[in-house]
A and B are shown apart, each in its own frame.
Chain A
């Protein structure tokens, strides 16, 4: 058996690949071979390194030295000096970023990666996602061991309660409370479902967790199962994430081989099995009752609620359905205690949140930061400013079902409470940042088309409403609408949010209402003057100067 002395990780995200990461990877293998170190050093690739300018990165463990940008020419020096002789090469290390004072309280991630506070993505990008040994070396399965050998199921729920953890799928429901409902619900067996049907446009945080740290989800599901007394769990992964599915299926096999899933876990009488399940392409299956219907082999159409899945879930049994990111918070909470988790964020909402930064900024990607950071900070610090120094026009938060935040509200802190007070949804954590070239009619059309396509067709307000709203918005973009159409749209929107059966219909026109609220003059100019101020709508005239937001 070979004894590994060191582990070398090469970043292969898109930016790194574009700058020759593949060549660096092969050069490393060749040099390591040349120095006769192949038996002692493992080289692997990682996809998520956060947002970093100095890609490709080469990270050497256990020293946590982060080199960047590494070129093929640097490889020999790194191998000879660091891996062979054991000296870190300071001249090749990646730059450490200076932090502005307002975010100085954030703790840095290990090494020299940009400062974020990582809990759920702590291991993503620094462990081998296909190695259970590596996961165990990085505190893996400690929480499960502690729970099943030292804690009663009710203690686990109490700890999650104390942490203040709220669901990260969008609704923000307290996780401990949900678990207690299921634990106390009559009926058996009970089920744990991990909702990995991440389909909200602009959201890929769950994919990063599933691909980068799959064992954490296995461990978290086992903890949930122990807390609510379930023996079986399902993880429903959207069909568009084949790599995440393979990683999870592999992780389940390894955990079974190590006795960490199956019968008699940690020598106790606790038994738990997980079935991986791939979806077949439907946004609506992210809604928990639609997901359950789909698991049962049917169309993914949401059920009428109540009864909620906590009492009538999979196969009619009490079921916990948790989002991937929510679950990823659970092992660290059980390991370190709920009180520790409460202290992570200075804001009222507990813990960290993974955001995906998208659109017209210089850097796009995922970040994990404590609750309470503001949009301005996200754009300036993590997004590295607006692309081409253009002006910020609006941000859509929480995906296509989310709200529109005009530039004037960018200093509202991002946490569940402050956002709710400002009438904004944090939702899934997607932050779509749009500059002044964006036309609100064109963007609204794209969002409404999405809901027209993804509506399941079960209830009338949503089935007809999503279609009519899309048609009306298309008419506006073609200069064929009248001003009364705006009021008609608001009436349709109101009816949809009042009486639709599920969240899809209730939120499909959230963005539309915000567009009309904040950008009415721009929409009216399409209707009245047949003028698209941003110069996007092809059928209309273009204005010389963009019309500012209200």
Chain B
């Protein structure tokens, strides 16, 4: 889906998102997040468009594309390339680890045929590792898109993934 966004669409998209969040410094991360949410990733082509709209030398604010690039590449919820239609994010932090996380992540890798960080050839699935998601009382935990799955056993993994068929 991502490839079909034309350059013209990108310009109007950036227009809309910048208008919505405001052309200020503190809006930069929210703008990038919104674009990531809408497109599934932040294409490099939007960075100069954002920069043009937020640049305000009269207020002492100078932005470079590299500044935006450094921000996009830093945060875990922002992606610089297209990822799968469904994204599995497995919590690999200690609280999920001590209650059987290893077995669950192995089951996820088996079911999806993916290693951590990979996206399937058909772009249907991505398997990403994440740090603590703050739902530790029901570990092990993974997200599929925005859905939280907690207290997961390895046996439940294929059935949970099948729901996203």
Contacts and interface: CB of A to CB of B under 8 A. Distances in A.
Interface of B is mostly: helix
Contact of A296 (B26, B137, B139): B26
A275 B139 CA distance: 32
A502 interface: no
Contacts of B129: 453
A443 B97 contact: yes
Contacts of B132: 199-203, 400
A364 B140 CA distance: 12
A203 B30 CA distance: 24
Most buried by A among B27, B75, B150: B75
Given A201-B95, A203-B134, A204-B134, A281 B70 contact: no
A400 B30 CA distance: 28
B136 A240 contact: no
Residue from B29, B76, B95, B135 having most chain A Cβ neighbours under 10 A: B95
Interface stretch (A24-32, A92-100, A130-138, A444-452): A444-452
Interface residues of A, number: 54
A393 B157 CA distance: 30
B26 A277 contact: yes
B143 to A, nearest CB: 9
Contacts of A283: 131
Given A204-B137, A240-B133, A242-B146, A359 B77 contact: no
A273 to B, nearest CB: 13
A450 B77 contact: no
Interface in B114-157: 129-139, 146, 150-151
Contact of B137 (A234, A315, A356): A356
Given A14-B138, A280-B32, A432 B98 contact: yes
Contacts of B85: none
A296 B25 contact: yes
Interface in A428-470: 430, 432, 434, 438, 442-443, 446-447, 449-450, 453-454, 456
Nearest to B70: A299
Contacts, number: 134
B93 A297 contact: no
A244 B102 CA distance: 29
B26 A275 contact: yes
Contacts of A241: 134
Contacts of A297: 25-29, 67, 71
Interface of B: 25-30, 32-33, 67, 70-71, 74-78, 92-95, 97-99, 129-139, 146, 150-151
8 contacts: A202-B132, A238-B134, A280-B32, A280-B75, A281-B78, A358-B136, A400-B93, A400-B132
Given A281-B130, A360-B99, 18 more contacts: A14-B150, A198-B134, A199-B132, A202-B132, A275-B26, A278-B30, A280-B76, A282-B75, A295-B29, A296-B26, A297-B27, A297-B67, A315-B25, A358-B137, A364-B138, A432-B98, A438-B98, A443-B94
Name the 3 nearest CB pairs between A and B, nearest first: A297-B28, A281-B76, A280-B75
